[in-house]
């Protein structure tokens, strides 16, 4: 049957609602999501509820894809009533802005596998209410008029039949409307799909810990007491900060308020200890490395060796409040590629340093000279390496060079050395290209590879 204009409008409204229920917001045929900013100060933790362009299942695992230059910031997330991203910045976190993609392991999508709504069909029972139409029986009361020839006028009483046809039309239109509603319900059924899906993009903005210290000078007593309460009883902040913060700058981004409050924690303790995590030294050689150590008041202090490294690999001596001297004995030649760990302590802060005995690369060769990768995918390029000690991985630094004109097609992500090989990860972008020359240098040995993005 043909649908009336009203039914067509209702059907279009239901179909529009189906797209919103599925969690996908469509504009000109393309799904989109708002860009959100997660601001975090070095040495603190902050969180944000992410507005996603896809509906995420509550049991989904949330992961983040971040660039290799994203230093000192740890990202975690959870899906409960939406997606919550949590950023934890170290005291020495790099101050910059990073675009981070958010992925979910389970998403909710609309499917055509409808739940059969047979129950509405039973609602046709009201059609049986036609029985009252039998009340036309009163027409029989015309019997007294038998003496009058007009008894034949009962024929017009039969014209009540058209009234019955109107009732049937009404029931048929009701059935057709229910069928249309049923068709719409079939399109709004949701299903959890278990696959890694990009659901949103956020901008992580990292600021230095020293900058917020200048702001309390403008708000001395009020800000010094209220934020202190937020650390212990966040529920209480719903009443007091609401009267102070919004009156000054309600138009500023909401992300700025949470970042200023936690900055009071690092202000109380300025303890700091930074030192290299890995050092490579040739057998029979020494190297001096720098470090930074400060106490809770921010005063420079001298570190000390808490746990010594194995003497056959290295000896460590703290020479001043800024330098550490590391020596690898000549006898360590037979331990090339091995490492010893030393633990250093400065105040209440500790740090571990791995000291490797240099294991140089003698030969390097690409496993494949030509590599093909799909758009937006990561290519793994393997370089076969022969080191001085074949039993251990090379300790040489890996450098990857891509021409500037080709970086719009391909970028370098990371490199990992292991026994007999070095694996380099290259990320392909959205554009196709037939040839991208890549030079991989392991120590003093060079390898050239051609990458094609299809």
Task: Tell me the per-residue pLDDT of 128-176, one tens digit each, with 9 for 90 and over.
Answer: 444 444 444 444 444 444 444 444 444 444 444 444 455 555 556 555 6
What whole-number percentage of the chain has pLDDT above 70? 62
For 21-66, the pLDDT digits (tens) are 333 333 333 334 466 888 889 889 999 888 888 888 888 888 888 7
The token pair that represents 17 in the structure block:
């609602």
Pairing between strand 410-418 and 378-387? unpaired
What whole-number percentage of the chain has pLDDT above 90? 39
- Phi then psi for 56, rounded to 5 degrees? -105, 135
pLDDT at 210: 61
Q: What is the mean pLDDT of the chain?
A: 75
Helix (H) or strand (E) holding 350: strand 349-357
For 211-235, the pLDDT digits (tens) are 544 444 444 444 444 343 333 434 4
**Contact predicate 298/268, CB 8 Å:** no
pLDDT at 168: 56
Query: Does pLDDT of 405 surpass 90?
Result: yes
For 254-290, the pLDDT digits (tens) are 454 455 555 555 567 899 999 999 999 999 999 999 9
Query: Does pLDDT of 436 surpass 60?
Result: yes
pLDDT at 157: 42
Q: How confident is the model at residue 407 (pLDDT cuts 50, 70, 90)?
A: very high
Q: Which of 194-198, 374-378, 449-453 has the lowest mean pLDDT?
A: 194-198
* Whether the model pTM is above 0.75: no
Q: Return the SS3 of 412.
A: strand
Q: Return the SS3 of 393.
A: coil
Q: Return the SS3 of 186.
A: helix
Question: What is the mean predicted confidence (pLDDT) over 359-370?
Answer: 96
List the one residue out of 175, 177, 183, 179 whose CA is nearest residue 126: 175
pLDDT at 174: 59
């Amino acid at each position: 049957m043909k649908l009336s204009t009203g039914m067509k409008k209702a059907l279009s409204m239901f179909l529009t609602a189906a797209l919103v229920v599925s969690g996908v917001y469509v504009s000109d045929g393309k799904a989109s999501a708002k860009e959100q900013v997660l601001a975090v100060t070095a040495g603190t933790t902050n969180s944000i509820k992410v507005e996603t362009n896809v509906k995420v299942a509550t049991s989904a695992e949330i992961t983040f894809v971040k660039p290799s230059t994203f230093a000192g910031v740890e990202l975690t997330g959870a899906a409960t009533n939406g997606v919550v991203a949590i950023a934890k910045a170290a005291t020495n976190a790099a101050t910059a802005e990073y675009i981070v993609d958010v992925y979910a392991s389970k998403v909710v999508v609309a499917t055509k596998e409808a739940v059969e709504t047979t129950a509405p069909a039973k609602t046709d029972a009201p059609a049986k209410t036609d029985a009252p139409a039998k009340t036309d029986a009163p027409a029989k009361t015309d019997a007294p008029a038998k003496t009058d020839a007009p008894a034949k006028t009962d024929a017009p009483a039969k014209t009540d039949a058209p009234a019955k046809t109107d009732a049937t039309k009404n029931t048929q239109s009701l059935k057709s409307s229910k069928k249309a509603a049923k068709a719409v319900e079939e399109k709004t059924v949701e299903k959890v799909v278990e696959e890694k899906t990009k659901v949103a993009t956020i901008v992580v903005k990292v600021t230095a810990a020293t900058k917020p210290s200048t702001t309390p000078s403008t708000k001395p007593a009020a800000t010094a007491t209220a934020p202190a309460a937020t650390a212990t009883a966040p529920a209480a902040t719903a009443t007091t900060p609401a009267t102070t913060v919004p009156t000054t700058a309600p138009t500023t981004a909401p992300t700025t308020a949470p970042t200023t409050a936690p900055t009071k924690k690092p202000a109380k303790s300025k303890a700091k200890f930074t030192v290299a995590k890995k050092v490579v030294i040739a057998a029979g050689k020494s190297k001096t490395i720098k470090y930074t150590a400060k106490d809770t008041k921010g005063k420079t202090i001298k570190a000390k060796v808490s746990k010594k490294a194995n003497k056959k690999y290295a000896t460590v001596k703290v020479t001043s409040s800024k330098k550490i001297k590391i020596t690898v004995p000549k006898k360590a030649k037979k331990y090339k590629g091995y490492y010893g760990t030393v633990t250093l302590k400065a105040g209440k802060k500790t740090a571990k340093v791995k000291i490797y005995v240099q294991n140089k690369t003698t030969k390097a060769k690409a496993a494949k000279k030509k590599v093909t990768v799909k758009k937006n995918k990561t290519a793994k390029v393997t370089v076969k390496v022969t080191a001085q000690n074949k039993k251990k991985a090379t300790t040489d630094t890996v450098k990857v060079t891509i021409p500037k004109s080709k970086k719009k097609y391909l970028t370098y992500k990371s490199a990992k050395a292991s026994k007999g090989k070095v694996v380099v990860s290259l990320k392909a972008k959205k554009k196709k290209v037939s040839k991208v020359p890549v030079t991989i240098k392991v120590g003093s040995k060079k390898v050239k590879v051609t990458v094609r993005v299809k």
